[in-house]
Chain A
Amino acid sequence: MCLLALACLLGACGGSRGVSDLREYKRLRSSKSGDDVARTLPKLTAAADALFQEAESAEDTGRVAEARHLARLARWQFLTAEAYAQRKVQQMRLADVSNRQRLMDERLADARRRERAAIEGMERAARFAEMAGHLEARGESPEGRRLSLALAALREADERASARLAPADDLQAFHALQGALAALDDGRTGAAERTLAIDRAVLHCQRLLADVTPRFAEETRRQAVEAQLRAVLAQASTVPELEARLEGRGLVLTMRQLFADGSQAVMPHRLPYVARVAALLAGTGDLAIRVEGHTDARPNVEAAISTCAGRAAAVRDGLAEGGLAPHRLTVVGKGGAEPIADNSTKDGRSRNRRIEIVVLRLTAPAPQPPPQSQSMR
């Protein structure tokens, strides 16, 4: 900054310092900052250098006033470039800081969520302990045993939900249990009314457990599948040429250059590549795998689809020979309907001709209706 101010003050001195402007320009350009600016903004720096050369030429030929003028222009042009170069560096730092801020915001939200979840967990644990203590204090009775069973169901639902899902919305069931206990404790409550209160509590707890259990199982499986897919994705990076990514539909592996022109048979020297992918896919458990054939834009759509389907089938056969269970494998010929690159260029067409192997994710099951039976009787 001091350098900049000094340079500008020199500029303020105007017309009698032409030669010093040339010297100043040389000094600026030969500094480390000069190299940095030239690297960051080569065009602007080149324009300043051109002005400087014109100034030197004018000085050499005795055109002193013009030399001074051009030297000043060169220097200001360079200082302009220097300011823009520094701005560019600061913009990069700003982008970095913004990125760190975003990550930190996510961590902050996560810490707050964990704190809330832990507090809610303690609240639930306290409620269960209180309720269990209350039931225990009442001593053995058929009604008490039914409520103990209901409480155990509620606790199980709560634990499952907290472990894999969002915390269960169990307040309604809990309040029903409290109501039933109060009915038992109140000597004035009639037998029919007590039974009704207990039935209601049992029903609530049973429903909650029935709602949570399949979702818990599904979520457990989904998380296991995600872990499998991510593990395979990580391993895929060790297979040369293989492109791998996770999408909403599942893990997608893209293979290219498996077939000779017009052929639907995998080229012999590419069979080991297919076998290696098959070995990679062995880590995907029993998940369904769809082999998709894609090509570039072709005028004959039906022929393109047929070719793609044939090629996908050839890859499917290769995967099956590599050890994957055939029942897991389906094929589809997509033709040129799903391009991923520009068909007007040779490179784009080459990218569009591909086999995609999709390891399909599980889809979430439809919500289960609560059961109506009361098996806790």
Chain B
Amino acid sequence: MVAALLSTAAFAAEPVVIESRRAFIVEQLLRIARLEGGDNVGSEIGTTSARIGAPLVAVKKNLNQASLALARGDLGRFDQLRGEVAAQMEMVDALLSQANVEVALAGAEAQLAQTALVLSEAERRARAVEERLRSGAPSSAPPVAAP
């Protein structure tokens, strides 16, 4: 779909005044392609794709309409759609940013849980050894050899 839209945008041949508008479409499409290709942290664990999938469908639909508006020279409609796309992409950025923090939080919580286990074991061992020291139990360590 992205390729088809790119093609539409590329063939919307008009004078220089529409060049920046066409560039906007191309820029957004490339950005979407990158996002769908997993060029972000969240997608690595599969959280982001689910979260931004629906918004990206909406953006592509708007870009399609914007491309058609550009092709028929309806710059007013195009600019309106451009505003909507910009707002949608801002929302996508926010969702991605949120997903990244969520990933970091999940990692930190997992590490905390792991450390809690290690700590529990370390404290148990320390208490056991200290108890042995207090009770005067012999060390299991080998005797010190003279140099």
Question: Interface on A for B, CB 8 Å cutoff?
Answer: 1, 4-5, 8-9, 11-12, 14, 69, 72-73, 76-77, 79-81, 83-84, 86-87, 90-91, 93-94, 97-98, 100-101, 104-105, 107-108, 111-112, 114-115, 118-119, 121-123, 125-127, 129-130, 171, 174-175, 178-179, 182
Contact = CB atoms under 8 A, between A and B. Distances in A.
B30 interface: no
Contacts of B97: 83-84, 87
Given A14-B65, A115-B129, A94 B108 contact: yes
A105 B137 CA distance: 30
A90 B97 CA distance: 11
B8 interface: no
B94 to A, nearest CB: 4
Contacts, number: 144
Interface in B102-137: 102, 104-105, 108-109, 111-112, 115-116, 118-119, 122-123, 125-126, 129-130, 132-133, 136-137
A104 B115 contact: yes
A183 B6 CA distance: 94
B47 to A, nearest CB: 10
A109 to B, nearest CB: 9
* 3 interchain residue pairs of minimum CB distance: A122-B139, A83-B94, A12-B58
A109 B65 CA distance: 61
Nearest to A129: B138
18 contacts: A5-B54, A8-B54, A8-B57, A9-B57, A69-B83, A83-B91, A83-B95, A90-B105, A94-B105, A108-B118, A108-B119, A112-B126, A114-B126, A114-B130, A118-B130, A118-B133, A119-B129, A122-B133
A86 B51 CA distance: 14
A52 B20 CA distance: 29
A122 B147 CA distance: 21
A126 B104 contact: no
